[in-house]
Structure 1
Amino acid sequence: MTWLLEESLYVLLIGVPLTAASAMAWVKTTHRALLWATILMLLLTVGGVAAEQLVVTDREQITAQLEQIAADVQSGDVSAILTHVHSDADETRERVQSDLRHYIVRTARITKIHEILVFRDRNPAESEIKLNAVVEVNQNRAPIAFELTLRWEDERWKVVAYTYQHAMTHLRKPSSQ
């Protein structure tokens, strides 16, 4: 049910028609119970939209974290980028440093988040993400497919592991020999 808290449109799509139907029924019948039902529907709709705005779900927090990582990669600030790496992920930390030494990133922009899976039952909680980004590296611009694993640490999601490849790799024909 977290989908209700991720987009106020869902609350509005349910609440507005129910409120309108109740209001129309009250106008036609002037029955006092329908007036109270209309007021209740209106309050529930407003409350639902307010709750959606106030509650930050795991998916929303992860999406914001990913956008911040992309901004830090684009800025080239290695120390800022490394703050997004989990403290237990030494191999990932070394890989990030190695990748950034070999490439000059001019642009890093997430174009599509395909999937965010959150596993709160794991200890600590983890998330697996699949996304596409457009990255301009060494004056070459390319779509890149990323898969990341994040782990909850210090009240935020941090990268434990990641893989990437050119997003069109699966479309390329194998070279004939």
Structure 2
Amino acid sequence: MTILYLHGLESKLSPAKRSILERFGTVIAPDLDYHNNPNVFDLLLKMSETHTFDVVLGSSMGGFMGYYFANTINCPALLFNPALPHRPVPQNIPAIDPVNTSSLLHFALGGQDDVIKANDNLKWLAENRLSNTDIKISIHNQMGHPIPVRILEIEVTEFFRQLEFLK
């Protein structure tokens, strides 16, 4: 299993979180410069020419990018507080083909997130529903924008359990 992890705008994948992900497969976590490269999506497409990604995980801006990338390459994704309703930096992304999308999108939202409010993501998801995609949504009432290691472990474990169930 090859896992593509897309970090947020001002973050990187911590060693503790990487070790959790590595229980489930090989982790590729590129260092992305969202501020200075509006074509991060094209960079990911180029990476997919040499890597086969089985799943995409992303947080915040990486969740935004992961949403579009997973739907383009048609693979499942786990997205933490994705910057779908609004984002601080522009990125060039293609339109999603509504017929050929990810089979599963799992969203983990923070009830205390004051950067990307859970309700804003819920509204965006309702307005942009993909009819061929199963969606799972978890709201962690005490979680803010940063993802605690404990919650990442819970969500990652559940996400991979769902993938096994879908086989």
Q: TM-score, normalised by structure 2?
A: 0.22
Higher strand share: 1
Higher helix share: 1
Name the larger-Rg structure.
Answer: 1
Q: TM-score, normalised by structure 1?
A: 0.21
